[in-house]
Each structure stands twice: as C-alpha cells, then as structure tokens.
Amino acid sequence: MRVLITGATAGIGYKIAEKALEEGHQVSITGRKTKTVEPAVNMLQSKYGAKVEGFIVDFTKANETQQFIDSAFTAQTLPDVLIFNAGQYAEGPMHELGDGHIEPQLRLHFLHIIEALQVWLTWMKA
C-alpha cells in the first residue's frame, strides 16, 4: 500500500512512517521546511532501505496547499492511506493570540484536509 503522512518529520508522524515502512508500505511524508524534510527522508531511507518521497508544503498557506493538492499525486499515484497528522500547538489564551494567528491554525488543522479530500476522495472512490 501507498501511505501519505503529513507532518511526519518528527514525533508521532515520523513513528507512523517508520511503522508503515517496517510493514513494507510505500511512504510519502510532508513537512514545512527543507531542513526537516530532507533529513527525515534520508534517515527513513537509510534505516529501512526503501524509497521515501518527501514533500515540502506549509499547510497554513492556501497557495502551497492548493499547489500540493494539484500536483503531488494523480488519480493513479494517490496513496491508499491518508494520515493527516500535520499540526501545531498554539499556546496562550484565545483572546491573546491576535488576528493573524487564527486563520493559519484553521488552515493547518482543518481546511487543508477538507480541500484535499474534496479532490482526492473523488479519485479514491473511482
């Protein structure tokens, strides 16, 4: 099976990628920065001897999200399993976060998933 795990350069996403590779699945991961995606891909590939595809995408940015959705996969290459793990902790009281903080959090934790599923579920159902 092909597995996509967002936010898989560290933490639970990385552990899920390891488990998927241990079980012989093809794995694609995402992260926000080259400096985290490339080392994660290299470590996974060297440890499991399997090709791991890494994508650099910041899901808090609508244009990057849309570009990823439109170009990362086709109906034929879309993973069988989608694990939307990307997330970010926002510390502090809601009223102190400021106007510029809420929308990126919504994009990261909710909107990018809906946007991807609107395109990809059509392909998965076919």
Kindly tell me if the per-residue pLDDT of 97 is higher than 80.
Answer: no
Q: What is the mean pLDDT of the chain?
A: 93
Average pLDDT over residues 88-101: 73
Kindly tell me if the per-residue pLDDT of 98 is higher than 90.
Answer: no
Q: What angle do CA 24, 47, 42 make, to 5 degrees?
A: 105
What tens digit of pLDDT does each residue of 7-39 get? 999 999 999 999 999 999 999 999 999 999 999
* 79 Rama class: left (phi>0) / alpha (psi -120 to 50) / beta: beta
What tens digit of pLDDT does each residue of 63-77 get? 999 999 999 999 999
Distances (CA, A) of 18 to 9, 28, 44, 81: 11, 11, 7, 15
Per-residue pLDDT band for 106 (boundaries 50, 70, 90) equals confident
1 sits in which H/E element: none
Q: Is the pLDDT higher at 93 or at 84?
A: 84
110: helix, coil or strand? helix
104: helix, coil or strand? helix
Helices in 1-126 by DSSP H: which ranges?
11-22, 34-48, 62-71, 99-106, 112-125
Answer yes or no: are the C-beta atoms of 78 and 67 closer than 8 Å. Answer: no
Neighbours of 40 (CB within 10 A): 20
